[in-house]
Amino acid sequence: MRSQWIEHKGKKILFIDVANLTHNYDALRAELESLVVLLQKQPRNSVLAVADLRGTHLNNNALLALMGNAPMAAPYFRKSALVIESNHARRIILDTLGQFVGHLPKRFENIEEAKDWLVSDAA
C-alpha cells in the first residue's frame, strides 16, 4: 500500500499516494480498497487526509474506482485535500464525484500548501 500516515506540524495526516499511476486503474482500485480498510479502523470524522492525484489519468475507469470507494471513505475524513493539476476537465470530473460523497476535498497544486491547510484551524 502506497498510502501512509505522516506527521506535519505535530499532527497526523493520512497521505494517500495515488500519483503517477497513469493508466494503471487496477493499482488505483487496489489502493483505494486498501484505504477504505485502513480508514474503517479510525473513528468517523477524525482523519486529516491529503490525496496526491497528479499524473493519474482521470478517465471513466478511474472515476468508477473513485466512485466505488469514495462514499465508504468519506465519513472518516474530518478535513481532506486533493493535490491535482488544475484544468477544466479535471474540475468537471471531480465535481461529478462530489455528488457521490456529499462534499469535495479542497484542491491544491502543491502538497505543502495542502498539508498546511489541513493542520490549520480553517474549515
User: What's the confidence (pLDDT) of residue 117?
Assistant: 96
Least confident of 10-19, 34-43, 49-58: 49-58
CATH of the domain at 78: 3.30.750
Which residue has 484505504 as its cell numbers? 35
With beta carbons less than 8 A apart as the criterion, state whether 23 and 57 touch: yes
Across the strands, what pairs with 108?
83
- Over range 106-115, report the average pLDDT: 91
Q: Kindly tell me if the per-residue pLDDT of 91 is higher than 80.
A: no
User: What's the confidence (pLDDT) of residue 47?
Assistant: 95
Which residue has 491547510 as its cell numbers? 117
Q: Kindly tell me if the per-residue pLDDT of 123 is higher than 60.
A: no
How confident is residue 15, by pLDDT bands cut at 50, 70 and 90? very high
Regarding predicted confidence, which is higher, 55 or 6?
A: 6
Which residue range forms the structural domain that includes residue 64?
Answer: 4-119
User: What's the confidence (pLDDT) of residue 94?
Assistant: 63
Number of domains the chain contains? 1
3-state SS class at 48: strand
- Over range 86-90, report the average pLDDT: 63
How confident is residue 97, by pLDDT bands cut at 50, 70 and 90? low
How confident is residue 41, by pLDDT bands cut at 50, 70 and 90? very high
- Rg of the chain's alpha carbons, rounded to an integer? 13
User: What's the confidence (pLDDT) of residue 63?
Assistant: 75
